[in-house]
């Protein structure tokens, strides 16, 4: 099972390296914005103990 995960990771890394730098930058930016949106949704619905 570990070898299967390792091989999948290696293939994913090779595919990622084959992408142009601009595409990788856009994918990273979209992922970051998505994570910020998810964090904002969680923060808006869960008590955080921080009051502004």
For the record, the structure tokens of 31 come out as: 């992922």
pTM for the complete prediction?
Answer: 0.65
Q: In this predicted model, what pLDDT tens digit does every residue of 24-42 receive, in sequence order?
A: 999 999 999 999 888 888 8
Q: And the tokens for 50?
A: 């921080």
Pair 24, 32: CB distance under 8 Å = no
The per-residue pLDDT for range 3-17, each reduced to its tens digit, is 899 999 999 999 999
- What are the sequence ranges of the domains in the chain? 20-52
Q: For CA atoms 7, 35, 38, 48, give the dihedral sign.
A: positive
Find the angle CA(4)-CA(12)-CA(35) to the nearest 5 degrees: 110
Q: Are 38 and 30 in contact (CB under 8 A)?
A: no
């Amino acid at each position: 099972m570990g070898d299967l995960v390792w091989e999948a990771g290696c293939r994913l890394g090779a595919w990622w390296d084959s992408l142009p730098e601009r595409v990788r930058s856009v994918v990273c930016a979209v992922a970051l914005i998505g994570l910020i949106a998810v964090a904002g949704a969680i923060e808006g619905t869960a008590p955080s103990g921080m009051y502004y």
